[in-house]
Structure 1
């Protein structure tokens, strides 16, 4: 039995012949093209607050296919490499275009919802940003245990005045398109959440400003106005991220298949596997291997096209 789904092709500047190349790839994979439509989104439209944001192009192809998973494999045979250079080809189930179904979009924070890694911004205050960044990179590639690496990185912050957290929070910049994406989803009645291996002292005010539906992160331990170099409570690692995402979906009455997880590193793998649709956003190889879809261009706003918004 043929099923409806969509192929969403995303590119910053598609070359001449891009439409034909995408449609040919879809048809060679055995799908039947019903309709297709390009939309050009300018940088200003996707992120009016950032002068350095590039626009992008989105081609939505409505198709009929006997096997959506086989179509996905055909259009993304190697998760580390685009089938058509410069174009992400993503297969999205038809249910994601059904506006009567409430969706929950759960975003990782560091290098996803925001441009930076908060732990590195904090480490810069003790002159150890490069050292901490190297550990972060290994953790996000899945080469070392996240919880152990977090303890190691947080330990370098011992003795810093807690006031540096406010300085770091002020320096945080949203990723391109993040604000428009969140506003659009909330306006349409969907839920948006953020779960982070970073820190609640930075995420909570950001979540309040964006009016996120839910937010969770680690807590930096503070005593007498000074960072102790430890994390208070259980660490938000990859397993906890997936657990929290599931709890939120249940609380909000969202079906598991209507949950989207968006992240960039190995710490997002468990929630990617648990989500109805997972997105690797400019991601490390470990997450690309397991995610359903890819967003390589630097603009979160493009995720609207996965929901036909």
Structure 2
């Protein structure tokens, strides 16, 4: 049977991993070996029996309100050689289309459609076309204004640069727009980025209210994961996908490790490996990286 490891990670701004919390986790999963410290007070690995999968929901309940994430992974192919990550609300804190809408005075209207789309209540392509249509006739300068609002989520740079330093291929993929993904990819150090395009008039000064075709949606994200794994001879078990919304579900299900990052309820119901309290650093701890191996520049 497959050997497993439980990774506990605490949000250090709120709490710390105490011996009592570690002991609770060890008892809950039937620990089979010694606890390994990945970052003092922040992250540990606990070898676990295969039956630990059944115990994980009860452990999360037992952890209660503590700002601690618990992620169970196989020990084989633990360090991934391909990362495919969503951008909005994952690598960055923003929903960039919502931010464009806010600067256009359409914030609530566009954000409401985004929320329904990310919750899986609307077809992604149709919802994107509906939102983009609202921008027709508006100046492209809104994109620069929205860009000034973009904030990287904590741990984003460490995640990408650490994995690249250890030989992984990294790709940023978004149902948003290349205007943002190209810049975010450069900031974090992604090898490549993929997204939709916003069409403009011939002068490049006004938005037409249309996106370039075909629309990059959930099936495209899955196809990218599969294509990159094949191109770079990466076994399926050695792939990592990270996302938060319904349009990320196909790639999260397919990846060797699919991580739901502060995800929408529809995603949490489907994906067992979840980062609910902590930062993107947890995606490295879940691969067994100690904090001393992290690369941030």
| TM-score between both structures, scaled by the size of structure 1 | 0.85
Q: Which residue number corresponds to residue 84 of structure 1?
A: 63
> Contact 1:76–1:89 at 8 Å: present in 2 too?
no
Matches within 5 A, 1:60-75: 60-63=45-48, 65=49, 67=50, 70-75=51-56
Distance 2:61 2:259 in 1: 15
- Are 1:261 and 1:278, in contact at CA under 8 Å, matched by a contact in 2? yes
Paired residues in the alignment total 281
Tell whether the 8 Å contact from 2:129 to 2:210 is kept in structure 1 after alignment.
yes
The correspondence for 1:128, drawn from 106, 116, 125, is 106
- Cα distance in 2 for partners of 1:286, 1:83 equals 23
Which range moved further: 229-238 or 81-90? 81-90
| 2:33 pairs with 1:34 | yes
In the alignment, structure 1 segments of 5+ residues that lack a partner are 42-55
- Of 11-20 and 85-94, the range deviating more from structure 2: 11-20
Structure 1 residues 147 and 108: alpha-carbon distance in aligned structure 2, compared to 1, 3 A threshold: same
Q: State the distance in 1 between where 2:285 and 2:119 align.
A: 28
* Structure 2 stretches lacking a partner, 5+ long: 290-297
1:4 match: 3
Alignment check: 8 A CA contact 2:86 2:248 kept: yes
- What does residue 211 of structure 1 align with? 189
2:208 — aligned with what? 228
- 1:1-309 → structure 2 map (5 Å cutoff): 2-12=1-11, 13-14=15-16, 16=18, 17-27=20-30, 32-40=31-39, 57-63=42-48, 65=49, 67=50, 70-76=51-57, 82-85=61-64, 86=66, 87-97=68-78, 103-223=81-201, 224-225=203-204, 226-309=206-289
Assess if the C-alpha contact under 8 Å between 1:142 and 1:266 holds in 2.
yes
Hey, what's the Cα distance between the residues in 2 that align with 1:83 and 1:239? Answer: 36
SS in 2 for 1:109: coil
1:52 maps to none
**Structure with the higher strand share, 1 or 2:** 1
Deviation at residue 125 of structure 1 after TM alignment: 2.1
Partner of 1:48: none
**Aligned partners of 1:214 and 1:248 also within 8 Å:** no
Residues 1:186 and 1:124: Cα distance change in structure 2 (over 3 Å): same
C-alpha distance in 1 between matches for 2:158 and 2:61: 26
| Aligned equivalents of 1:6, 1:71: Cα separation in 2 | 9
> Any conservation in 2 of the 1:72–1:90 contact (CA below 8 Å)?
no
